[in-house]
């Protein structure tokens, strides 16, 4: 019991570190065209991911994109691909379910990231395995609940619960952005306002507002 309490305290201490722009990356997991017709709330996920990309671009956050075997599942959807900033984006092909391929891990180490914001699909497969791998590397994982999904609602719900008890922080896109900005006097806050308003409007119709 003493050991389990100690482990719980270590987990609590680990996830309590604040998000900071200088040490955070945005990870987009397998948001590919082939999944568009089969994943629950795909359009809602796409809009949320677009909001995160626009915000990350404005804040100069590095963006890591993976594509699961694109020969079969096609590339990242055009709506997202066209707004990815060339300067800060790296795209990696993979067959591993987790995003944490050797190439991605090397890139994360090079960036010196201590935390990531994660969105994409599927929640119970690639997002889950990515989160567990990142946590084992000592990286804080903030899963964007309105930006992840699966083909089945139940799989998404169970995976989010598993992630929450495994040390990941389950949050929302707007909350994550405000944590990064910290202060209304942030020099980029005014530029972010149109994205925040658009995301708020889209959220009213989102299919991903349940845990």
Q: Which of 29, 113, 126, 144 is catalytic?
A: 126
Q: Catalytic: which of 29, 30, 113, 144?
A: 30
Q: Give one DSSP letter per residue of 92-158, joined into a string.
A: EEESSSSS--HHHHHHHHHHT-SEEEEEEE-IIIIIHHHHHHHHHTT-EEEEEEEEEE-SSHHHHHH
Catalytic site residue from 29, 48, 54, 94:
94
d(CA 39, CA 41) in angstroms, rounded, equals 6
Closest C-alpha to 152, from 73, 64, 35, 30: 35
Q: In the beta sheet, which residues pair with residue 32?
A: 76
Alpha carbons 27 and 56: distance in angstroms, whole number: 10
What count of other Cβ atoms lies within 10 Å of the Cβ of residue 194? Answer: 10
Q: How many residues does the chain have?
A: 211
> Is 30 an active-site residue?
yes
Question: Is 82 tagged catalytic?
Answer: no
Q: Is 199 helix (H, G, I), strand (E, B) or coil?
A: helix
Contact of 96 with 68, CB cutoff 8 Å:
no
Residue 188 is a catalytic residue: no
**Active site (catalytic) residues:** 30, 94, 126
């Amino acid at each position: 019991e003493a050991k389990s309490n100690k482990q719980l305290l270590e987990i609590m201490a680990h996830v309590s570190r604040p998000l900071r722009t200088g040490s955070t990356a945005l990870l987009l997991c397998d948001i590919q065209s082939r999944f568009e017709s089969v994943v629950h709330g795909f359009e809602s996920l796409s809009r949320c991911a677009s909001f995160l990309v626009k915000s990350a671009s404005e804040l100069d956050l590095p963006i890591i994109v993976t594509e699961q075997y694109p020969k079969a599942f096609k590339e990242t959807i055009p709506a997202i691909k066209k707004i990815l900033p060339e300067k800060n984006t790296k795209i990696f092909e993979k067959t591993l379910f987790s995003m944490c391929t050797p190439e991605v891990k090397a890139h994360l180490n090079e960036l010196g990231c201590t935390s990531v914001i994660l969105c994409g699909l599927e929640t119970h497969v690639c997002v889950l395995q990515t989160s567990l791998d990142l946590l084992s590397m000592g990286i804080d994982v903030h899963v964007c609940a309105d930006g992840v999904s699966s083909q089945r609602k139940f799989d998404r719900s169970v995976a989010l619960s598993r992630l929450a008890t495994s040390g990941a922080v389950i949050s929302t896109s707007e909350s994550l952005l405000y944590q990064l900005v910290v202060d209304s006097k942030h020099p980029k806050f005014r530029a972010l306002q149109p994205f925040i308003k658009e995301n708020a409007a889209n959220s009213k119709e989102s299919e991903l507002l349940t845990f």
